Amino acid sequence: MNGLPADVAAIVAHWHRVSPGREALRHGERSWTWAQLAEQVDRNAAAQVSAGLRPGDRVAILDKSSPAHLVTALACLRVGTVLVPVNFRLAPGEARYLINDAWARLLLVGAEFRHVAHAVKADLTSVKKVVLVS
């Protein structure tokens, strides 16, 4: 083949090895190298594991599209968890329903939407931990 990893979860590790200082991601004026992206994916994956998540567990994220979404998606691929994006335009009751229906064990919330998490937290049936992300 062409020497590239066959699985998406290994792509970051591959480019971290091959070109750690090369730009991997740009969002607005901010950019991340492959080494920086790999470090964030490693931290996110380690946090999932330390929260007791196992392959097949759901990780919900309530935020606007951002680099945090990508980092979380890549970490989920590494750990074997399943990413559940929650549309930030949903009413709190709709978000609660979606999170409960997915049986999410971890809820990541963008700072802008912490009021939604606060409104639904008591009614979340499977979420063990809510984490504010920036």
Q: Which domains does the chain have, with CATH numbers?
A: 8-133 (3.40.50.980)
Q: Residue 3 pLDDT > 70, yes or no?
A: no
Q: Residue 1 pLDDT > 60, yes or no?
A: no
Quick one: pLDDT at residue 4?
Answer: 61
The DSSP string of 92-128 is HHHHHHHHHHTTEEEEEEEGGGHHHHHHHGGG-SS--
Query: Can you tell me the mean pLDDT for 15-21?
Result: 93
* Cβ(70)–Cβ(98) below 8 Å: no
Q: What is the pLDDT of residues 29-54, one digit of tens each?
A: 999 999 999 999 999 999 999 999 99
Query: Can you tell me the mean pLDDT for 72-80?
Result: 95
Quick one: pLDDT at residue 7?
Answer: 80
Q: Residue 5 pLDDT > 90, yes or no?
A: no
Element (H, E) at 133: strand 129-133
Q: Residue 19 pLDDT > 80, yes or no?
A: yes
